[in-house]
């Protein structure tokens, strides 16, 4: 009986020490995890700060400039009363796999549908440049490779796939271009894509204007319309 009591006393004497050691180890492990998470978050924040700053400043400036045209476009659509309303509402997958409702004007005139998405850029649901926004459940959001990388990026108002879509090259498939962007994106690439996104519609508009301008130079009359009666080549 005395031996049992001594054992119990020794157990009770060592119990606080063991508990303290376990608690200390748990605190050390938790602190290490917190430091790792902080470093990871800091690295991610540093990597995205410049991109997000560009989205906020340029996105807000573009929205301010486009607001009059968007208001006129929305008013014109409201007068016409299109089926489904003025806005197109679609579910899309964004940063971290979270879904959001993408709203666009129901028109493609002057790219107003694209410009009407600028509020999403300012709010942080879209980026100016990124992969195309996909619907939830789209295989490209679930597959390997670019699938998980997409969740680390905000979908874009425009992107590498959009500016290269008309090249016709076999390696310029949208899925491959989105994967390339997800793996190699950086600020210089974003600026180049934005410049190309502006250049393409301007060039198309300039070509349309030049095509409609009257051409100068000497005019030629058509033989078929202006031959005199009885005209013969032999004469």
Angle at 119 between CA 118 and CA 121, to 5 degrees: 65
How far, in Å, CA of 57 to CA of 202, rounded?
Answer: 22
Q: pLDDT digits over 94-132, tens only?
A: 988 899 999 999 988 778 899 999 999 999 999 999 998
User: How would you classify the pairing of strands 127-129 and 156-158?
Assistant: parallel
Q: How far apart are CA 131 and CA 129, in angstroms?
A: 7
pLDDT in tens, 192-232: 999 988 887 787 777 777 777 766 555 444 444 445 555 45
CA of 103: how far to CAs of 71, 95, 114, in Å? 15, 17, 10
Across the chain, where does the E strand assignment appear?
87-93, 99-105, 127-129, 156-158
The domain limits of the chain are 38-206
């Amino acid at each position: 009986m005395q031996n049992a009591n001594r054992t119990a006393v020794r157990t009770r004497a060592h119990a606080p020490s063991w508990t303290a050691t376990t608690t200390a180890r748990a605190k050390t492990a938790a602190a290490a995890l917190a430091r790792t998470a902080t470093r990871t978050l800091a690295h991610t924040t540093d990597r995205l700060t410049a991109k997000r700053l560009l989205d906020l400043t340029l996105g807000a400036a573009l929205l301010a400039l486009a607001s009059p045209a968007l208001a006129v476009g929305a008013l014109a659509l409201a007068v016409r009363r299109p089926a489904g309303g003025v806005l197109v509402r679609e579910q899309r997958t964004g940063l971290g796999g979270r879904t959001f409702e993408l709203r666009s004007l129901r028109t493609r005139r002057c790219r107003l549908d694209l410009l009407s998405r600028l509020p999403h850029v300012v709010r942080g649901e879209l980026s100016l440049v990124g992969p195309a926004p996909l619907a939830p459940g789209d295989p490209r959001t679930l597959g390997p490779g670019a699938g998980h990388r997409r969740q680390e990026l905000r979908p874009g108002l425009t992107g590498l796939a959009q500016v290269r879509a008309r090249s016709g090259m076999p390696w310029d498939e949208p899925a491959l271009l989105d994967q390339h962007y997800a793996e190699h994106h950086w600020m210089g690439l974003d600026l180049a894509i934005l410049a190309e996104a502006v250049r393409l519609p301007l060039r198309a508009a300039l070509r349309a204007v030049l095509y409609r301008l009257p051409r100068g130079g000497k005019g030629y009359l058509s033989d078929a319309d202006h031959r005199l009666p009885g005209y013969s080549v032999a004469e």
